[in-house]
Structure 1
Amino acid sequence: MIGEIDFYGVLMPPLLVWLGIALLLSTLLRAAIKRLGLYRFVWHRPLFDLALLIVLLGCVSLVMNRFF
């Protein structure tokens, strides 16, 4: 997908929209990880959260480019 996404007259780059989707997914996944107590296996929580966001951004961009 090349170009901008029109959001009520505001043109935004697709990466910004994909980052918003990835941030929402990351927030939900971090809440689930915290609830399950899996953070006890993580050495550096902020670094893990950043890596999780980057991986989710890659997955979202792959899905959006391939299917939309």
Structure 2
Amino acid sequence: MALRELTLGGVLLSPMLLYALLALLLTGALRLGLQRAGLARWIWHEALFDCALYVCVLAGLMAVLATW
């Protein structure tokens, strides 16, 4: 999926919207996995960690999917 606009009912949408939603879902899954594995107790500031994890996942998605 390249960085081209998507047309939905005549409205152009940025592919960044899809990447951001996918990154949000992946971040939630990773966070749940960390909690179930017992690693979440080592996180000092949860909100800061969640934000940083989201940015890292979004950057990784952009790097992988934007080149297809």
Settle same-fold status: TM greater than 0.5: yes
CA distance in 2, matches of 1:23, 1:6: 22
Runs of 4+ in structure 1 displaced over 6 angstroms?
Answer: none
Q: Percent identity?
A: 38
CA distance in 1, matches of 2:3, 2:66: 9
Unaligned runs of 5+ in 2: none
Structure number with higher relative contact order (C-alpha < 8 Å, ≥ 6 residues apart): 2
TM-score, normalised on structure 1?
0.85
Root mean square deviation, CA, Å: 1.3
TM-score, normalised on structure 2?
0.85
Residue 36 of structure 2 corresponds to 35
- The total of aligned residue pairs comes to 66
CA distance in 2, matches of 1:3, 1:29: 28
Unaligned runs of 5+ in 1: none
